[in-house]
Amino acid sequence: NCSPETVAETSSQRHVLTYMEDALTQLLENKEEMEQGNIPRFFSEYFASVSRGTHVLFREFDFVQTTPHNRASFLRLFWKCFRTIAKNGDLLTVTGYHSLLQMLCPDFPLDLTQKAARIVLMDDAMDCLMSFSDFIYAFQIQFYYAEFLDSVAALYQDLLTGKNANTVIVPTSRSATLRQRPPSSDSSAPDGVEALQFQQSLESLCDKYKHSYPPIPLLAEVLSSAPRITFYGFLMALSKHPGINLNIGALPSKSDLLVDEAMDKELDKIQLLCLSVSQPLSACTIPSRDLARVASPRKNLPARRRPDLESDGSTEETDSSEN
């Protein structure tokens, strides 16, 4: 298995023409400020930033979402910049998280943020509070696999309404023939669609899909947990799956979400430097990264309730998951 770093490097190499075009565009836009001898240095620094994943910072959304490497880089930057929200235990609404995203990408679309929030909130009101850990993993799935999830939503709706009933799914190398059942006329039928039917429909979709999608064995693992599944139950399960998170390679595991050793070391150096100067400690304005949580004023918003779904056996509550 490839490491996340290897996956990211392979992805960036595959889209090298995209980065060459962007580098030339950046060079032409700044040619008046660029000295002739500095052009090789410009390209060197540009591709170094692509390798580090910092090239998407403050860029327009069209560029941020252009390649899988760009999307993973943006996810990693979002985590690094705002992980202190999780560390402090703060809860934000969809509007709050969208404001944070716009700090890194000014024209980041609101609808993507809302779709990510819907994975967490499901049937709850969109003004409910969410923990950083719940939001960021849901956002990762929605942002990284955006096109795939749009196709899955259409496929799910077809299955739910029986549009594809009585059709035979063409068998692939991974699946056998499955004759779909007609939709039940019983009004008390369980919510969602049959997981096996959904799985084989997804496999058929992935066989001809050009955009990024989760590995099929991991999709099968998610769908094997219950006989029926709802669309948002499926998305929630994807966002919680450690194998899918590892495959994307942008975020750490949930247990390590608050850890960034490199950044913490730099903060420790700054604090030591601050302590070594002759001025009183109170004059130093660098805050400690271990400061206790400071309560922030906010409205009393409705408490989240979590529907009992077959597809997601988790009992984790969003508002208290990081407390």
Query: For 32-67, what is each residue's pLDDT tens digit?
Result: 877 767 888 899 999 999 999 999 999 999 999 999
Give me the pLDDT at residue 126, please: 86
Q: Can you list the residues of the chain whose pLDDT is less than 50?
A: 1-4, 7, 165-189, 278, 280-301, 303-304, 306-311, 313-317, 320-323
How many of the other CB atoms lie within 10 Å of CB of 229? 26
Name the token pair of 279. Answer: 């001025």
Give me the pLDDT at residue 318, please: 53
Give me the pLDDT at residue 277, please: 61
**Strand ranges, E, within the chain:** 91-92, 130-131, 168-169, 178-179, 193-194, 228-229
Q: What is the largest CA-CA distance in the chain?
A: 81
Query: For 209-244, what is each residue's pLDDT tens digit?
Result: 888 999 999 999 999 999 999 999 999 999 999 999
Query: For 133-151, what is each residue's pLDDT tens digit?
Result: 999 999 999 999 999 999 9
3-state secondary structure of 304: coil
Give me the pLDDT at residue 106, please: 97
The type of residue at 76 is R
* Predicted TM-score (pTM) above 0.85: no
C-alpha distances out from residue 259 to 254, 256, 289, 305, Å: 10, 5, 11, 29
Give me the pLDDT at residue 9, please: 53
Distance CA 90, CA 124 (A): 19
Give me the pLDDT at residue 18, please: 93
